[in-house]
Chains A and B, each alone.
Chain A
Amino acid sequence: MITKEDLSIDELVRKMKKPEMGAIVTFLGVVREDGGMEGINVEVYEEMAVDELEKLEHEAREKFEVEAVEIVHREGSLKVGESILVILVGAKHRKEAFRACEYLIDELKERVPIWKKVY
């Protein structure tokens, strides 16, 4: 999902949590200060990004023993310290959740049509 709003991990956890999950691994990407910059602009090719995110979520469920996956990426102007994206992976056991989460962030950075520009 793509959003202009701030991210609420608690809300996403509530939405995805199931009794069979023993672990929910969360990755939160944050705007990092670098060379006196103020923030970043995030541009999204929304129609394609939404499709690619759905494909990634589907792949993660096929490749790993996970129960649920949620990915939310922000767009627009984000200042240093603001959240850029969150990935949540719920699984019976932590190892599969960690592996799936790492797979998802690595693939997202390769494939999902989103661009960051520093200002």
Chain B
Amino acid sequence: MKVTVRFFAQSREIVGEKQKEVEIEDGRMLHDIISRLRNEYPDLKKEKIIVSLNHKYTHPEEILKDNDEVAIFPPVSGG
């Protein structure tokens, strides 16, 4: 199955892309995709990152579904 991963702020700068499609096996959890991206982009390991799934904060054990939207970003700093 395929999920979309979006990157914002420093995470976007590290990855060099705003978003990418990632192929992942059925039944994988949110933290699996994070580990994979951290291995692919080691600089992501140096930063504190926050993860959302389908526009919501969630826990890392959430099971991914086809066409989910994951987002990776640093702690927010709006306001």
Contacts and interface: CB of A to CB of B under 8 A. Distances in A.
Contacts of B71: 45, 48, 113
A112 B55 contact: no
A115 B6 CA distance: 15
A14 interface: no
A62 interface: no
B56 A85 contact: no
Interface bracket on A: 20 to 34
Interface residues of B, number: 15
Contacts, number: 58
A97 B20 CA distance: 43
Contact of A115 (B8, B55, B56, B57): B8
A113 B50 CA distance: 10
B8 A85 contact: no
Contacts of B16: none
A45 B79 contact: no
A28 to B, nearest CB: 11
Nearest to A112: B78
A42 interface: yes
Interface in A63-119: 73, 84-85, 105, 108-117
A110 B8 contact: no
A45 B76 CA distance: 10
A48 B52 contact: yes
A113 to B, nearest CB: 5
A51 interface: yes
Interface of B: 6, 8-9, 50, 52, 55-57, 71, 73-74, 76-79
